[in-house]
């Protein structure tokens, strides 16, 4: 399978761009005794979710460059990308290798469009297609949250359980949830309630998606933005896939940028 075919193309274009780093947790250093350590009884799930919600990014448009490393079948590859958002309506991406356009993608509320400059063709797919390939629920809002490093809740929020992990520096709030299909886990900083790690697992399908965010820095006002992300995905359909993204600075907020997406007339549709 060519690297830029499905499903690897969709994984790269739809799941990789702005934000965080997965794999190991932040650290394993014990909190100093002088640091106040919260207990699970001090915060309810509702309290934590309210604080997490305050970290949602506020913008109309957003644009950023990112370096991306992909590890998976059939090969490992590095590339640079440009991503632009018009919040809640459009996501646009352009992937380059050695200065040449490789892939351009446009995600709307209901569809995904991809131009493949290497194979001189294009495709359009619905989110239903993405769900089938990646074996996870998918819609525009979920993809937008994932790209922005925000948690995606697949199990009922009122059934989440809260605990506190004080073995990592600064401590982490842990929310876990299970239903007939999903096991989910979310780790948030006890200091500022930014997302540190997220696990979405379907045990019956042997499918798991992991995302961990760090290297947070400021973004327009008091907003916090994760500039490094690593995504780990594994399923019988995709095999093991790892994508590491380093986002460059500055990230431009509410600056009008073009969303050029012209399909060459001689490119056939797949």
Radius of gyration for the alpha carbons in the chain, expressed in angstroms and rounded: 19
- Angle, helix 127-134 to helix 8-15, in steps of 10 degrees: 110
pLDDT at 243: 87
pLDDT at 173: 94
The answer on pLDDT for 212 being more than 90 is no
Domain contains 125: yes
Q: What is the mean pLDDT of residues 107-133?
A: 88
Q: What percent of the chain has pLDDT over 90?
A: 41
The answer on pLDDT for 19 being more than 50 is no
pLDDT at 216: 92
The answer on pLDDT for 189 being more than 90 is yes
SS3 of residue 46 by DSSP: helix
The answer on pLDDT for 241 being more than 50 is yes
What is the torsional sign of CA 222, 24, 155, 93? Answer: positive
What is the domain range of residue 118? Answer: 8-25+38-253
Q: How many CB atoms lie within 10 A of CB 158?
A: 8
Domain contains 31: no
Q: What is the mean pLDDT of residues 151-166?
A: 89
Q: Which residues pair with 157 in a beta bridge?
A: none
Domain contains 33: no
Identify the band that residue 6 occupies on the pLDDT scale cut at 50, 70 and 90. very low
Domain contains 143: yes
Q: How many domains does the chain have?
A: 1
Identify the band that residue 20 occupies on the pLDDT scale cut at 50, 70 and 90. very low
Specify the higher pLDDT residue, 23 or 202. 202
Q: What is the mean pLDDT of residues 167-195?
A: 91
Identify the band that residue 146 occupies on the pLDDT scale cut at 50, 70 and 90. confident
Q: What tens digit of pLDDT does each residue of 54-79 get?
A: 999 999 999 999 888 888 877 788 88
Domain contains 183: yes
pLDDT at 75: 77
Q: What is the mean pLDDT of residues 100-126?
A: 92
Domain contains 161: yes
Q: What is the mean pLDDT of residues 97-105?
A: 90
Tokens 């299909």, residue? 181
Specify the higher pLDDT residue, 45 or 35. 45
Verify cis geometry, omega within 30 degrees of 0, for the bond prior to 134.
no
Reported pTM = 0.82
Quote the CA–CA distance of 188 and 91 in Å, as a whole number.
Answer: 26
Residue 66's closest CA among 211, 215, 246? 246
Identify the band that residue 135 occupies on the pLDDT scale cut at 50, 70 and 90. low
Domain contains 139: yes
Q: Which tokens is 19 given?
A: 């934000």
Residue 211's closest CA among 253, 149, 258? 149
Domain contains 181: yes
CATH number assigned to the domain comprising residue 230: 2.50.20.10
Q: What is the mean pLDDT of residues 28-39?
A: 49
Mean pLDDT taken over the chain: 82
Quote the CA–CA distance of 264 and 262 in Å, as a whole number.
Answer: 6
Q: What percent of the chain has pLDDT over 70?
A: 83
Q: Is the Cβ–Cβ distance between 87 and 56 less than 8 Å?
A: no
């Amino acid at each position: 399978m060519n690297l830029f075919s499905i499903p690897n193309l969709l994984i790269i274009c739809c799941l990789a761009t702005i934000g965080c780093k997965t794999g190991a947790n932040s650290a394993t250093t014990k909190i100093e005794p002088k640091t106040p350590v919260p207990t699970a009884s001090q915060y309810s799930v509702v309290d934590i979710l309210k604080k997490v919600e305050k970290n949602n990014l506020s913008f109309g448009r957003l644009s950023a460059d990112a370096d991306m490393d992909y590890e998976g079948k059939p090969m490992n590859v590095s590339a640079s990308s440009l991503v632009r958002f018009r919040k809640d309506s459009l996501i646009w991406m352009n992937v380059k290798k050695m200065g040449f356009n490789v892939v351009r993608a446009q995600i709307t509320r209901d569809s995904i469009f991809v131009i493949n400059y290497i194979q001189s063709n294009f495709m359009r797919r619905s989110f239903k297609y993405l769900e089938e390939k990646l074996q996870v629920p998918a819609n525009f809002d979920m993809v937008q949250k994932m790209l922005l490093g925000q948690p995606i809740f697949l199990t009922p929020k009122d059934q989440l359980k809260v605990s506190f992990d004080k073995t990592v520096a600064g401590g982490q709030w842990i929310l876990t949830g299970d239903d007939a299909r999903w096991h989910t886990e979310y780790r948030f900083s006890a200091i500022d309630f930014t997302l540190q790690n997220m696990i979405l697992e379907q045990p019956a399908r042997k499918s798991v998606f992991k995302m961990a965010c760090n290297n947070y820095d400021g973004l327009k006002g008091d907003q916090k933005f994760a500039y490094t992300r690593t995504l780990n995905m594994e399923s019988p359909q995709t095999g093991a896939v790892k994508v590491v993204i380093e986002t460059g600075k500055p990230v431009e907020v509410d600056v009008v940028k073009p969303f050029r997406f012209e399909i060459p007339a001689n490119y056939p549709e797949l």
